[in-house]
Amino acid sequence: MLLKYTGFPEENEIVLCTVTNVQFHSVFVKLDEYNKNGMIHISEISPGRIRNIRDFVKEDKVIVCKVLRINKERGHIDLSLRRVNENQRRGKINEVKQEQKAEKILEFVAKDNKIKTEELFDKINPIAMEEHGSLYEFFEEVVDDKADFKKFKLDKHLAEQLEEIVRQRIKPPIVDIEGTLSATLYEKEGVEIIKKAFSTIKGTEGLDCKYLGGGKYQFRVESDNYKDAELILKEAVSKVEKVLAKADGVISFNRD
């Protein structure tokens, strides 16, 4: 990865590391994004008793750790592997993969224009990081028409090619939300009433409804942004509840 942070990470920061040396009571790693070294004590490898530390880590293995303590004067960084939960681990791996994907785009365009990838990266990344959070997030905003390459004062052909490749390779993020509607109707025509209720939302873009059994119906919405997804779900549930409310019964909706 071309991305390298200066200085030290923050305490409690989640970082990507590569194992460099495994000893009996400790593991030494390289913090890939900071080009610094750190240590994980055996007590921070995994909960419970550890018989063989190599059952958990080996040299050259890439792991996700949490920063515990930093001694800048000595250059010591204490890390933990066991305090990283699965969501944090997945989030960090996804973040790194996105960064690598963004850098691959720069590499492709730089090679095609016979310039160094590092040179193009240094022109774009600092501003992208400062104004958008990351290179990949900047590319996402380009795809969403919220940003462009004009601010970087690049050659016109280079800027146009970058935008074209970014739009080809970066897809808008998909938001997926779900909820379950429970309906118990006491009327003889209950089935027909339910059919009528769901006919009011038939064909709603991004909405999928599925019968789960036992009077439960799953609502699932996919959209390219959370706000729109929430609105689609809210309006769909409201339409169905409006029809069902006229019948004798019990209706409830819960977000999954």
Q: What is the pLDDT along the chain (256 residues), one digit of tens a residue?
A: 778 888 999 999 999 999 999 999 999 999 999 989 999 999 999 998 898 999 999 999 999 999 999 999 999 999 999 999 999 999 999 999 999 999 999 999 999 999 999 999 999 999 999 999 999 999 999 998 899 998 888 999 999 999 999 999 998 778 899 999 999 999 888 899 999 999 999 999 999 999 999 999 999 999 878 889 999 999 999 999 999 998 898 999 999 8
Closest C-alpha among 186, 201, 214, 192 to residue 241: 201
Domain residue extents for the chain: 14-82, 87-169, 175-255
One-letter amino acid at 156 equals K
As a residue count, the chain comes to 256
Which long-range contacts does 223-231 make (Cβ < 8 Å, 24+ apart)? Answer: 223/174, 223/175, 224/172, 224/173, 224/174, 224/175, 225/175, 226/175, 226/177, 228/175, 229/175, 229/176, 229/177, 230/177
Give dist(CA 256, CA 42) in Å, integer: 38
Q: What is 87-169's CATH topology?
A: DNA polymerase; domain 1 (1.10.150)
Q: What is 175-255's CATH topology?
A: Alpha-Beta Plaits (3.30.70)
- Is the domain spanning 14-82 CATH 3.90.1170.50? The answer is no
Give dist(CA 221, CA 216) in Å, integer: 17
